[in-house]
Amino acid sequence: MDEFSSLLSRYRRPVERYVRFRIASAADAEDVLQEVYLTAYRRFGDLRDRQAFLAWVLAIARSKCLDYFRAKARQMEIPVEIREEILPVRTRHGRTPVAAVRETLSSMAGREKEILWLYYFENLPQADIAKKLNIPLGTVKSRLHAAKEKFRSVYPYPPGIPKGESEMPELFEKLPDYTITPAAGEVFEVRCEEMPGWMMVPRIGEKLKWGLYEQPGGVRTEWCEMEAIGRAEVHGIEGVEIRAVQYNTENYYRTGAIDRAERTFVVQLTDTHCRTLAESHVEDSVRRVYTFLDGDPFLNNWGFGEDNCGREVSVRRRGVLKREGNIITCESDTMDAVGRYDVTIGGKTYDTICLMDVETFNDQIVSEAYIDAEGRTVLWRRFNKDDWALKHFGPKKWSERLPENERLIINGEVYVHWYDCVTDRIR
């Protein structure tokens, strides 16, 4: 195998992941990849530093993706002077909110698109627009008003959270006893936009606290504050930057203190999925940054779904998991809504559906997320397979360590309830 083939074989996966994340059509993505590889092969002699191969070939991939979007823009007959600025930025599983702005604009009639572009993107005063278009100022005002209304009617995302939110309420110090009761009625379908495993919606302005409560007893151990602080881009994919501060956490990353750990996520929410693009934290006094192109070091900790496609935001019954009481039968690596339940906690009752995750993220770990009609998790419960991580926690099985805790029997195997998580939303 020659040097180029060896390097391409080593780095093929991140290149493929990058292109497929940028281009929604699988067939188009494959065509672009072939152009990337051909161009890289032809230009390989120009690469002086072989250690920079990945960055070099990703730059080629980015250029080829832009060429693809330029060609798409020409097909949509977008005016030449604004074509590059409103290229459709799509992913394998939908479009970002920013891309939705651009795509909504590109779908509008030429006159509407033109006046919105001049006013919002070129920041021209209405009087200057009137001169540029050679129309009366009154016509500019009426045309701009009509274009705004048209845009609002087509744009797929609701307005952001208003400013001036009140201070977040406190978490329970001790989780109150709660009940989970099967409820009448069908399992409703809901859009749950929370990032996998963290109960946080990646939308600028969102804030959240969640606590971890060990069972039995419901004593709060770890807790976390999270805030979506702004836009961020990872390898050309736009998402939302989320700051998380964990308190009383174990010293997993050798941060120098066992009671506080700070990390930053970049998370992307599309029409169909929510996925993590990057995570960073301090380890041994060094800032570590991992992105979706980094393979197993990222995917094993922060990835969700095949190739980190993310978690589907549409939660519904798919019929792949059968539950009767605490007896569950299913294929391995399954997620499904299994029933409708009234969850009573802290003196309030919530109408929820239960989303069960059987080992889709971690082997030998099962979770129940009780999600309300607003798409927010009311209660999250974790169960360990009876022999999970015995080398770390000791020789006793979980049924021996926690004899009072609830059991699930999944395909004949025992899983033991370990802890719960709730957010400040339920206070």
**What pLDDT does residue 113 have?**
81
Q: Check whether 159 has a pLDDT greater than 80.
A: no
Q: Mean pLDDT lowest for which of 260-274, 298-312, 356-370?
A: 298-312
The strand pair at 407-410 and 413-423 is best described as antiparallel
- Do residues 221 and 109 both lie within one domain? no
Q: Which range of residues forms the domain containing residue 19?
A: 3-75
Q: Check whether 96 has a pLDDT greater than 50.
A: no
Q: Check whether 85 has a pLDDT greater than 60.
A: no
In a domain, 53, yes or no: yes
Q: Check whether 167 has a pLDDT greater than 60.
A: no
Mean pLDDT, to the nearest integer, of 110-130?
77
Q: Check whether 237 has a pLDDT greater than 80.
A: yes
Q: Mean pLDDT lowest for which of 63-67, 80-84, 166-170, 302-306?
A: 80-84
- Do residues 134 and 265 both lie within one domain? no
- Confidence class for position 349, pLDDT limits 50, 70, 90: very high
- Do residues 105 and 52 both lie within one domain? no
Do 82 and 117 meet the contact criterion of CB atoms below 8 Å apart?
yes
Q: Mean pLDDT lowest for which of 185-199, 286-300, 326-340?
A: 286-300
- Do residues 247 and 384 both lie within one domain? yes
- Do residues 33 and 100 both lie within one domain? no
The Cβ of residue 284 has, within 10 Å, a number of other Cβ atoms equal to: 9
Mean pLDDT, to the nearest integer, of 298-321?
88
- Do residues 21 and 149 both lie within one domain? no
In a domain, 169, yes or no: no
Do 305 and 273 meet the contact criterion of CB atoms below 8 Å apart?
yes
- Do residues 63 and 100 both lie within one domain? no
Measured CA to CA, the distance from residue 107 to residue 150 in angstroms comes to 11
In a domain, 390, yes or no: yes
In a domain, 40, yes or no: yes
- Do residues 329 and 209 both lie within one domain? yes
pTM score: 0.67
Q: Which of 314, 291, 289, 288 is nearest to 303 (CA)?
A: 291
- Do residues 226 and 135 both lie within one domain? no
Do 224 and 345 meet the contact criterion of CB atoms below 8 Å apart?
no
More confident residue, 245 or 83: 245
In a domain, 41, yes or no: yes
State both tokens at 419: 């802890």
Report pLDDT digits (tens) over 125-148: 788 888 888 888 888 888 888 888
What percent of the chain shows pLDDT beyond 90? Answer: 44
Domain count along the chain: 3
Measured CA to CA, the distance from residue 56 to residue 405 in angstroms comes to 54
Report pLDDT digits (tens) over 379-415: 999 999 999 988 888 889 999 999 999 999 999 999 9
- Do residues 267 and 409 both lie within one domain? yes
- Do residues 70 and 97 both lie within one domain? no
- Domain finish residue from 46, 75, 104: 75
